[in-house]
Structures are given as structure tokens and as C-alpha cells.
Structure 1
Amino acid sequence: MILTQCAVCATELGLSLGKKCGRCSTRYCGADCQKQHWEEGGHDKLCRKIKKAGGAEQYNANEKYTEAVGAAAEACAEDTKGQTCYICTQALHWKTKEGLVRGCSCRGTAGFAHVSCLAEQAKILVAEAEENNLDIKVQHERFARWFVCSLCEQQYHGAVCGALSWACWKTYVGRPEADVARMSAMSVLGNGLFSAKHNEDALSVREAELAMKRRLGDSEHNILIVQGNLAITYDALGRLEEALQMKRDVYSGRLRLSGEEHEETLRAANNYASSLLTTDRFGEAKSLLLKTIPVARRVLGENKDLTLRMRLGYAAAIYRDPGATLEDLREAVTTLEETERAARRVLGGAHPTTAGTGEVLQEARAALSAREG
């Protein structure tokens, strides 16, 4: 997580409260904790090292990045045996000695790389866009290389996404708080931690990000994005009613701000439907998705990840409803079979959407079999 707590007692400090070590910027709730950390917590031995690394936030990001790269390489070890990095062409990174990863939709011999190589590639592309003052659309496309594969154009997921998010954060954390790249990197970090299932850490980052954007007077569009991400994190942590209320508000805000055909509105609709499902409001979820899936198909296309996830949610709303008829269950199974085939073809078998659809399909088939029996 980013440093929002006292290094000694873990009191929540947000992004601005408390005091910092004058040399390395390690954060404390007050003088007593700072004194204790120096005398008993080993800070006297680490302080110069942290300062040399660029301060407490940079030092923490560097440490977390190294840890995440190791976890990602370990998670991908079976898939990457005998392969080489498509960027540097080596199996073992020449400098860091890290192993290979692949956390996208590439298949066969494509897409294997070192996190360090992917990070360096993204860093160079973003730097070129900034130095040449390229238009905002190009800059966004370049920055997306921190979380989107340049070969298959699908987002990274799992431990690989988590490692790249720390790479992104450690690259831009030293910039001023209002710097666009730094603010984007905080968003990437929250998403990466969530994808790697570090939900408590993701919550800390997203709460800090929302507070920062409100303090800096960011646009409603950007604040709605953070609120949507925060609501998804509440969901993952079991705070279901909080998640439902926030997702409802985000969807309403998106409709007002962007209209029903905007991708962010469709994403908000799917997130809201997901919470309706989680809280057993099956009829409301089905009604919402019946209205929005045709729009997603028209605007995004049949095989877009978001469209596939909306179809998955619709099928789940059908078969999980206690009042589902036999024909309802058959429709759910047919929808899931079509969605699973499309997801496997477009995203690959390892993608979370494909795996999730397969799991729900098994449940729906079991429910249909039980009813027919």
C-alpha cells in the first residue's frame, strides 16, 4: 500500500496529516511515535538508506515492486518454461535475474516478457509523448501500456497486473501531487492491487486517491471513476450495501454526465448490476442488463470483455432467481455456453472473464439438471 498510516501505530493519516522524518519523510502520527521508531524500531539504521532511495514513499514503492515481480514470475512459472522475453529475447533478465511472466490474452509462444522490460517499454513511450507534447489522446494510449498488452491489446490481470502497477507507481511517485502521470499512476496502482487480490491495500490506495482528487478539485468524470473503483473494492471486502449504494450513485452520475452509450456508463451499469446480483435483487439486475446489453453490443461490439461480462451477469440473474422457470434455466445455460466460447476465443482460457464464465456455467448446468430431473 502507499504510505497513509503512522509507521509505528498504524494510525490513519490520509495524505496530509501527521508529521514526517525531516530526512527521509517517513510518516508518523506524532513526536512520540517518531522517537520510538528511532530508538526501538530500527529507523536509525534505515533512515539514510530510505533518503538515498528518494524518500519513504519511493523506498516503499521500490520494495513492493521487487516483491511483486517475484510473485508474478512465480505465478507464471509453469506457463513460461522454455520461453524467452519478446522484448530483450532472454529467458532470465540480464540485470535483475527475474523470470518471465504472461498475464494477458496472448497464446502460443507470444506475449512472454519480463516485468522490467514491459515497464521500461511503457516508461519510454510515456516519456516520448510528454517530451514531444503529443495530444492528450496519444498520451492516454501511451500510458495504457502500463496495464494493456501491446500485442493482444487486452489488459493484464492477476499478479502480473499487480507487479506492473507497482512499476508504474514507483516511476511517477516522486512527481508533484497534481502531476497528471502521478495521479494516473495512483489509479493504476489501485487497480493492480485489486487485480492481484490485495483488496485491503487497494482500498487504502483508492480512498487516498478519492480524497486527493476532491481536494485538488478534479473533474466529476475522474471522481466518478475513482468512486466506481472504490465501490468494487467494498464489494470484494464484503461491504455489500455500501458498494450497492455507491454503484447506484455512480451509474446515475454517469447517465447524467455522459449518456447511456458512453463506455464508462456501460461499465457503471455492469458494476451496479453485479451488486444487485450479490444482494439477491435478481429482477432488478435482469431488468438493468436487458436494457444495457443491446447498447453495449452496438457501441462496443459482441466480443468486448465488458459486453461478455454483462451477458454473464444476465445469465446469472436468470438462473439464480428462485422463481426461474425451466425455460429460464435453459436460456441461462445457452447464454453462458455462447459467452464462454466467445471469451475463450477472444481472451484465452486463463483470463478471469473466461474462468468466471466457466464456473457460472457449471452452476447453471447443475441447476438445470436438477430441475429436469
Structure 2
Amino acid sequence: MILTQCAFCAVDLGLTLGKKCGRCSTRYCGAACQKKHWEEGGHDALCKAIKKAGGAEQYHANNKYAAAVAVATKACADDTKGQTCYICTQAVHWKTKEGLVRGCSCRGTAGFAHVSCLAEQAKILIAEVEENNLGANALDERWHRWHKCSLCEQEHHGVVACALGWGCWKTYVGRPERDLSRISAMRRLGNGLSAAKHQEDALSVNKAELSLLQRLGASEESILAVRHNIAMVYQGLGRYEQALQMKRDVYSGRLRLSGEEHQETIRSAVNYGSALLSLGRFEETKSSSKKILPVARRVLGENHQLTLTIRFAYGVALYQDDGATLDDVREAVTTLEDTERTARRVLGGTHPTVVSIGEARRDSQAALAAREAGCAYSYKIRV
């Protein structure tokens, strides 16, 4: 995670408290811990290396990136055998010697790459925008390369998203704290950590970003974006009531700022519905889904991941409701079967959303079979 603790005693320092080593910027709560870390914690041997790498935060990011790449390549090893990188055309990266990954929605022989090549591709595109003063819209469009595949245009997920998050952070961490790319990189890191289910670390990064934005006087839209990410992490941690309250507030804020047809408003509505579903509030989930689904279809299209997620939540709420009729369960099965077919075609069979829809589809089919046979069926909520 981003360095917000004393390097010796681990007390929380936020982004501004404590003191730093004058040579390498390693952070401490005070002179006593700095002295002990030098004498007892091995900092005397590392200080020069940390300084050479660009300081404590850069050194930490470099190490975390290397570790995340190793995890991602190992996780993708079976899928990538005999393949080559679509960017550099090599099986093994010429410099880092890393293997290949694929964490998007590409199928067949498409989409295999080195994390380092993906990171370099994004870095070059962002640099072109900055060097040629192409403006905020161009920067926003090209920033997608840090989290979306340039071939299938779907987001990277899981450990690949985490590795790219660390790659993004290590690229821009050395910039001034007001730099937009540095702030965006902090957000990308938090999202990548969450995608790999490192929720506590993601929460730490998200809260650090929120603190920074509030201190810098950022816009309400920027604050809503990071509060949305915090709410998603709360849900990942099982803190459903906190997630629901924050998602409701974010949705209300998005409606007021951007209107119901803005993509981020739709995203907020989807996430609010997922929080309702996690708490077993099925009637509210169905009502929310019916309200937002026509908007998502009109604005984003039938095949967009957010549209598919709304249909997924609606199907789950239909059959898991204690008051569900036999017709409700049949509708749930039909909805989930159709949603899974579309999601599998658009996102690929290994995408987390597709896996979750498949699990719900099987549960709904079992529930239907039990109801038609006059038996009880137990299930667990899957979101």
C-alpha cells in the first residue's frame, strides 16, 4: 500500500504527519523510531539503495510492482503457454524476463502480453498527451490503457489489474501531489488492489486519496468518485451497512450533478442495487433494477457490463426472495440464462462477472427444480 505508516513502529501517519529520513525520505513518527530503525531495523544497509531508487515511496512501489507481476504471471501461466506478447512479439520479456498474462476478455490467441509492455504502452500514450498539450479529454481517453485492453476494450481484472495498478503508481508516484496523473494513479492502484481482493490495502489507498483530495479542495465529482471506491471496498470486506449508506449518498450526488443518463450515475445506481442485494433487501433490489435498466439499455446498450450487472442483480433478487412465486423463479432462470450467454460472449468465460452470473444461474435452476418437485432449496446470496 502507499506509505502512510512509521517504518519502525507502524503507527498511522496519514499523508502529512511525522518526519522523514533526510536522505531517502523513509517516514517515521519521530526521531526515536528513526534512530532505532537505523540501529536495529536494518535501515543503515538500505538507505542508500532507497535513495538511489528515487526515495522511499518509489522504492516501495518498485518492489510491490515486481511482486505483483510475479503473482500475475504465475496465475496466468497455464493459459499463456506457447503464446507471445501482442506488443513486443516475444514470449519472455527481453529486459525483465517476465512471462505473459491475460486478464481481459480476449479469447483464442489474442490478448497475451507482458505487464511491462502494457505499462509501457500506457506510459507512452499519456506522455504524448502531456508533451503535446492535447487536453483533458485526450488524457482521460488514453488513461484507459492503464486498466483496459486495447484489443477487446474490456477492463483487466484480478491479479493483472493489481499488477497494472502498481505499475501505474510506480510510474507517477514521484510527481508533485497536485499532479493529475499522480492522483489518478493513486486511484488506479486502489482499484487494482480491490480487484485482486486485497481489500484492506485498497481501503488504505482509497482513504489516503480522499484525504489528499479534501486537502487540495478537489471538486465534488472527484470526491464522489473516491467515495464510490471506498464503498465498493466496504462491500468487499463484508461491511454491507456502511457500503449501502455510502453508495446511496454517492448515487444521490451523481444524480444531482450529472443526471440519470450519465454513465457514472448508472454505475452508482448499479452499485447501490448490489448493496441492497447483499443485505437481502430483494424488493428494493428489484425496484431499483427495473428503474435503471431501461436507462442503461438506452445509454450504454444491451451488451455493456453495467447493463448485464443490473439484469444479474434482478435475476438473483427474483429467486432468492422468500415470497418468490414459481413464476418468479422461472423468470429468474430465464433472465440469468440469457444474461450469462450475453456476458460470456462479451466478457469471456473467465471474467469475474461471468463466473458470478454462472453461479447464480445454477442456483436458480436448482431452486426451480426443487420448487417444481415440491422440495425446499437453500442457497446463499451471490453478488
Tell me the residue number matched to 2:124: 124
Quote how far apart the aligned CAs of 1:238 are: 1.6
Tell me the residue number matched to 1:173: 173
Quote how far apart the aligned CAs of 1:87 are: 0.9
Tell me the residue number matched to 1:22: 22
Quote how far apart the aligned CAs of 1:136 are: 1.7
Q: How does the TM-score come out when normalised to structure 1?
A: 0.99
Task: Write out aligned runs for 1:183-198 (5 A).
Answer: 183-198=183-198
Tell me the residue number matched to 1:84: 84
Quote how far apart the aligned CAs of 1:135 are: 2.6
Offset from partner CA, 1:227-250 (integer Å, 9 cap, x none): 011001011112111111101110
Quote how far apart the aligned CAs of 1:362 are: 1.0
Offset from partner CA, 1:311-363 (integer Å, 9 cap, x none): 10111111111111110001111000000000111111011111110011111
Tell me the residue number matched to 1:283: 283
Quote how far apart the aligned CAs of 1:256 are: 0.8
C-alpha distance in 2, partners of 1:319/1:228?
Answer: 28
Aligned pair 1:51/2:85, yes or no? Answer: no
Tell me the residue number matched to 1:366: 366
C-alpha distance in 2, partners of 1:34/1:330?
Answer: 65
Tell me the residue number matched to 2:245: 245
Tell me the residue number matched to 2:226: 226
Tell me the residue number matched to 1:267: 267
Offset from partner CA, 1:194-225 (integer Å, 9 cap, x none): 01111111010000011111111111111101
Task: Write out aligned runs for 1:333-352 (5 A).
Answer: 333-352=333-352
Offset from partner CA, 1:2-42 (integer Å, 9 cap, x none): 10111122211111111111111111112221111111110
C-alpha distance in 1, partners of 2:33/2:40?
Answer: 10
Provide the secondary structure at the position in 1 that maps to 2:99: coil
Offset from partner CA, 1:123-175 (integer Å, 9 cap, x none): 11100111001132111111110111111100100111110111100000000
Offset from partner CA, 1:77-107 (integer Å, 9 cap, x none): 0110000111111101111110000110111
Tell me the residue number matched to 2:97: 97
| Identity over aligned pairs, percent | 71
Q: How does the TM-score come out when normalised to structure 2?
A: 0.96
C-alpha distance in 2, partners of 1:224/1:353?
Answer: 24
Q: CA RMSD in A?
A: 0.8
Q: Which moved more, 1:65-74 or 1:4-13?
A: 4-13
Offset from partner CA, 1:255-309 (integer Å, 9 cap, x none): 1111111111111111111111111111111111110011000000000011101
Tell me the residue number matched to 1:111: 111
C-alpha distance in 2, partners of 1:331/1:225?
Answer: 34
Q: Which moved more, 1:23-32 or 1:165-174?
A: 23-32
Is there any run of 5+ residues in structure 1 with no aligned partner, and where? none
C-alpha distance in 2, partners of 1:31/1:313?
Answer: 53
C-alpha distance in 2, partners of 1:104/1:275?
Answer: 25
C-alpha distance in 1, partners of 2:369/2:21?
Answer: 64
Is there any run of 5+ residues in structure 2 with no aligned partner, and where? 374-383
C-alpha distance in 2, partners of 1:281/1:36?
Answer: 53
Tell me the residue number matched to 1:158: 158
Tell me the residue number matched to 1:146: 146
Q: Which runs of at least 4 in structure 1 moved beyond 6 Å after TM superposition?
A: none
Quote how far apart the aligned CAs of 1:120 are: 0.7
- Letter of the 2:312 partner, please give it: L
